[in-house]
Amino acid sequence: MARALISVSEDGFTYLTLNGATSRYSDTGQAMTYLGDYARETATSLPVTIDDGNQEVEVLLDETGKIAPASSSSSSSSSPATEDASEDEATTASAMDSAAAEAETAGHGDEAETAGYGDEAGTEAGSAEDYPLGTPFSGPAASAPAVKKKRVRKHPRQSRPQRLKKITVPGLVLIGIAILMIGAFVIPNIVPVGSQDSPQTIESDEQINPASELSVETTEDVVPGFENSPTWETKIPKDASVTASDRGVLVVDEGKLQVLDAKTGKTRYEGKTREAPTFAVDTIIDGKPALLWQSGNTAEALIDGEEEPHTYELPEDARITSAGKSVLVKSGNQLSTFGSDGLVDVPTPEPGSTPMAIENDELFSSDWNGPVKAKNIESGEERSIDLEAPSDGLQIIKWVSTGHGKAITLWGEQGASTNSGHRIQLVVHSLEDGSILSTVTTTTDIVGEMSWVRGQGGKRAYIGPYLFNLETGLLLMDTSSKDIHLSEPRGTIVPCTVDNDDSCLLAGKHAYRTDTNLLALTDDGNNAIVDGSDSTIRAYAKKSEKSEK
């Protein structure tokens, strides 16, 4: 009889050894899902040992892939950590039995609700009230907890990792539930190692996309394409923190908060703050543009045309996301958004789905496989958006982001994951009809665990070395061949570093070496706001076509 070994390493990954082969997964839930499918496909029972380096827990998957009662657990070390672990052994084994029994008697509707709104498999205790997240606030949940970025090994590890971290009791309980989940997790078909159907492995250092035409140059302009004489300038405190957008320039210094008008540089609002803002963004509130910032459990929004900001008390442990054009607030299973008269409750999506973004009064959500659901938060009307597949036989392996009219996903063959080193498709879809706007053939080594970074003004976004036009969804640039690393875009200009971390600004197909600290492009790209080294904020007008000739 085959036997499987699952071990959890300190780097956050789970290693599964079965039939002499070792594979890496994002977490124990993903590995157990695979084993459940294996047991069903082969119609055999499968003993599984889960080892955290201090203790071992034995479970048995029956021919249907369900967990049979656990047999025993044993200590494998006499370290101080083992003493703590041994006290939990009986509880852990009992919890596994209870989880299996409860999951077998529960309906799939209850299981889906647990998957969509409760704990994630393999996460630590205390996260039961949180929505599961793929990338921060931007996509449906994979079953994986947050892990540190790490380059993929070119060959699977052939022995159990030596440095392991403890599996908590709640994490083990959820393994039993994860086997039976259908609504929120992908259960891949078994692809034998070495078969013709296995995904093609790409070496970590191999680039799939050809290099875009890109030059590295110098410039005498403060900002490429803009005049060198400022249209306005304002002195600020030396140690002040500054954020700029179309709605204004936010200056914070020692409890004092000031909003400057982006067009004139004059003070638009002055106030006080007990804590430094941790979040600031342009947004839409009741159909009107606004500048919103968060300080601790309080948020303030200065709506265009008004002199005083609206103040909001945020729910406990609230997280806010600007993935869409409106801001979504998440607190446990409760959703809300900002209105002119306070927070507005947003209906939660169906169990098994994860809320991703709000824009144009629609909440976008989806389960793992899609389709995307867009529900009007006022009328309750809902539409379904089927995402066009980039190729036959490919499936979604990661939701990267949704918002600003686009859904960004990674697609791969059966067996591919975000860190497996396989060739994949990075796809940008329209949220109008689910059609493909652009695709990039790449590897998980390049973008598998990268975030989709939207820039100021909603003009550009990037992931890894790939720069996109956020308005059209089209790929603009692949910067990998020039050793250029992108940062958060400012309108159509992207701050970057080149070669030995020299600062640059990417404009069009040229990366200009410069130390300019560009804060924002405002007025539809006609003005550039810069934070000078002399503690002065300046605005520069775009050059006319005549002056550029």
Mean pLDDT for all residues in the chain: 75
pLDDT at 150: 35
Looking at residue 192, what is its pLDDT? 34
- Inform me whether the pLDDT recorded for 398 exceeds 70: yes
- Classified as helix, coil or strand, 231 is strand
What's the pLDDT score for residue 16?
Answer: 81
Does pLDDT of 237 surpass 70? yes
Task: Compute the residue count for the chain.
Answer: 549
Count Cβ neighbours within 10 Å for each residue of 64-93 and write b for 16 or more, e otherwise: ebbbbebeebeeeeeeeeeeebbebbeebb
- Note whether 188 and 142 are within 8 A (CB): no
| For the chain, counts of helices (H) and of strands (E) | 7, 40
Mean pLDDT of 144-160: 35
Yes or no: say if 371 and 360 are a contact pair by the CB < 8 Å rule.
Answer: no
Check residue 213 and give its pLDDT: 76
526-542: pLDDT as tens digits? 999 999 999 999 999 99
Question: d(Cα 446, Cα 331) in Å, to the nearest integer?
Answer: 33
Is the whole model's pTM more than 0.85, yes or no? no
Q: Which residues pair with 341 in a beta bridge?
A: none
Q: Of 35-49, 105-119, 382-396, give the lowest mean pLDDT range.
A: 105-119
Instruction: Kindly state the tokens that stand for 415.
Output: 């067996």
Residues 78-95 pLDDT 10s? 332 322 333 333 333 333
Q: Is the pLDDT of residue 483 over 90?
A: no
Query: Residue 487: how many CB atoms within 10 A of its CB?
Result: 16
Lowest mean pLDDT among 128-142, 218-232, 294-308, 469-483: 128-142
Alpha-carbon distance 294 to 13, whole Å?
34
State phi, psi for 45 to the nearest 5 degrees. -80, 150
DSSP track, 330-375: EETTEEEEEETTEEEEE----TT-EEEEEETTEEEEE-SS--EEEE
> Residue 34: phi, psi to the nearest 5?
-60, -45
Residue 209: predicted pLDDT: 43
Would the pLDDT of 248 be above 60? yes
Cα–Cα distance measured from residue 520 to residue 529, given in angstroms and rounded to the nearest whole number: 5
pLDDT digits over 264-303, tens only? 999 999 999 888 888 899 999 999 999 999 998 999 999 9
Q: CB within 8 A of 545, min separation 6: which ones? A: none
Kindly state the tokens that stand for 422.
Answer: 């396989």
CB-CB neighbours of 422 under 10 Å: 22
Cis preceding linkage at 351, omega within 30:
no
Q: What percent of the chain lies above the pLDDT cut of 70? A: 70
Higher pLDDT, 197 or 12: 12
Span 16-68, pLDDT tens digits: 888 766 666 656 776 787 788 788 878 888 898 888 766 778 888 888 888 87
Beta-bridged to residue 311, according to DSSP, are 300
pLDDT, position 490: 96
Neighbours of 33 (CB within 10 A): 24
Q: Are 54 and 166 in contact (CB under 8 A)?
A: yes
Using CA of residue 2, residue 8, residue 11, residue 13, what is the dihedral sign?
Answer: positive
